[in-house]
Amino acid sequence: MASVTARPFDFPLDPARAALIVIDMQRDFLEPGGFGESLGNDVSRLQAIVPATARLIEGFRAARLPVIHTRECHRPDLSDCPPAKRLRGAPGLRIGDPGPMGRILIAGEPGAEIVPALCPAAGEAVIDKPGKGAFHATGLTDHLAGLGITQLVFAGVTTEVCVQTTMREANDRGYECLLAEDATESYFAEFKRVAIDMITAQGAIVGWAAPVAAILEGLA
Ligand code: C5J
């Protein structure tokens, strides 16, 4: 057991029971010319966390601990996309519409792929998820149970949407959740700050937050 310096208090990391979940580091969210930028977002904010996220992934790989990647995407026939979700986007740039990197958030399209710098290694699980949370309508629960995982370290985008939603789902399912605070980002700086405050408030009501360097020390 290692003690990771974290907010609001040290996280008791048990590497034998821990996995890393990297949320939605997809081209359409991160790359210039993708869906995120076409909505008017500054994607350089999200690109900036790629090096820290890569270090975290490498640390888990070096420690031979599970790395799980997620992608927010839907089936080409949209049968897993509730109309209420699809109709929420900007007209002309909704899920399934033709976008700058193929059909927006559709499995198999270039924009739905993970950015090359964080490409999943052979044998690492890639969970395609139709919701914001990675537990909804996926096999993640069974996958984690099969590995004996009870602690989850989180990285990815965006902090206040898919990362926070998945952390809340995990927290309710009994996992101890630690967010790598320099390996997560939002298009809105204030949303990231407030999301981490909400997660760590009231004695880690949803979970803990720590820098990548502190988490890597705990794995060493
Ligand atoms: C994610 C989103 N991945 N912001 N999606 O956070 O719609």
Active site residues: 24, 129, 162
Terminal-residue alpha carbon distance, the chain:
11
Residue 75 token pair: 């089936």
pLDDT for the residue 38? 87
Task: Report how far ligand 1's centroid is from the alpha carbon of 12 (Å).
Answer: 29
> Which of 31, 70, 72, 85 should be mutated for ligand 1, with most atoms under 8 A from CB?
72
By the 10 Å C-beta count (0-12 exposed, 13-18 middle, 19+ buried), 174 is classed as exposed
Higher pLDDT, 112 or 34: 112
Q: What is the model's pTM?
A: 0.98
Least confident of 41-55, 89-103, 107-121: 89-103
Task: Report how far ligand 1's centroid is from the alpha carbon of 56 (Å).
Answer: 21
pLDDT for the residue 88? 87
* Alpha carbon distances (Å) from 216 to 122, 177, 181: 22, 16, 13
Task: Report how far ligand 1's centroid is from the alpha carbon of 158 (Å).
Answer: 5
Q: From the alpha carbon of 161, which atom of ligand 1 is closest?
A: 6
Q: What is the pLDDT of residues 63-95, one digit of tens each?
A: 999 999 999 999 999 999 999 999 988 888 899
How far apart CA 120 and CA 117 sit, in angstroms, is 9
